[in-house]
Amino acid sequence: MDKLLEPILMHYGDKQITQAIEELSELIKELCKNIKGEENKDQIKEEMADCYVMLEQLKLLFSFDSEDIKNIMLKKLHRTIRQVDQEVQARIKKESN
């Protein structure tokens, strides 16, 4: 995918940071519509794709290593799993009292 992203990034450069913000805000907008009851899964999917493209461009722009990002993601996922386990245990304890 980098071969497809590099010429875009070379052409637009730092302007892609602003574009990433715009794409993320468009996803937020579609998610808000969905929360309010709108059936817009296709629009959400489109906006997610746009965001993934922009995140990949940001990764290149800032010279971030994919493996580093993956490791950070795993660390955060494990932390969230621990939090979920703690919340479930607290709820079980509360319900048993």
What percent of the chain stands above pLDDT 70? 100
pTM of the model: 0.86
Structure tokens at 11: 């052409």
Going by pLDDT thresholds of 50, 70 and 90, the confidence category of residue 62 is very high
Instruction: Report the share of the chain in percent with pLDDT over 90.
Output: 93
Give the tens place of pLDDT for each residue, 21-38: 999 999 999 999 999 999
Provide the pLDDT for residue 96. Answer: 87
Domain ranges across the chain: 1-63, 65-97
Q: Which structure tokens are listed for 86?
A: 């703690």
The CA-based dihedral angle spanning residues 62, 68, 73, 74, taken in that order and rounded to the nearest 10 degrees: 180
Split at pLDDT 50, 70, 90, the class of 74 is very high
